[in-house]
Amino acid sequence: MLPEALEKWSVDLIGRLLPRHLEFIYLINHIYITKLKAKYPNDNKKVERMSLVEEGYPKKIRMAYLSIVCSHTVNGVAALHSHLLKTTLFKEFDELYPGKI
């Protein structure tokens, strides 16, 4: 389980193929980022790390992050996998949303 293995979709691609979906993703991210900034007011790096949109060129949507933010619960393939997700790859999300993973 490496961060490099997580799917990221180009904002340009989504914008061309699914423009309305991209609008919703940006709206979801705006609401989510507002909550993150309220919870972590002095930690812009954390907010940037947890954003659904990866800045840079090209901009990308972090699909796993979108799934976590928009889902009621998230689980791994097995109990061990879920534990690893909670303690490594998605540790910050598990702290933000205890019990979600």
Burial bucket for residue 8 (CB in 10 Å: 0-12, 13-18, 19+): middle
Angle between helices 19-39 and 63-70 (to 10 degrees): 70
pLDDT band at residue 3, thresholds of 50, 70 and 90?
Answer: low
pLDDT digits (tens, 9 = 90+) for 47-83: 999 999 999 899 999 999 999 999 999 887 888 888 8
DSSP-derived 3-state class of residue 62: strand
For residue 2, pLDDT over 80 is answered with no
Percent of the chain topping pLDDT 90: 75
Taking the domains of the chain in order of start, what are their residue ranges? 3-72
pLDDT score of 78: 85
Closest CA to 59 of 97, 30, 22: 22
| pTM listed for this prediction | 0.90
Contact 62, 52 (CB under 8 A): yes
What Rg value do the Cα atoms of the chain yield, rounded? 14
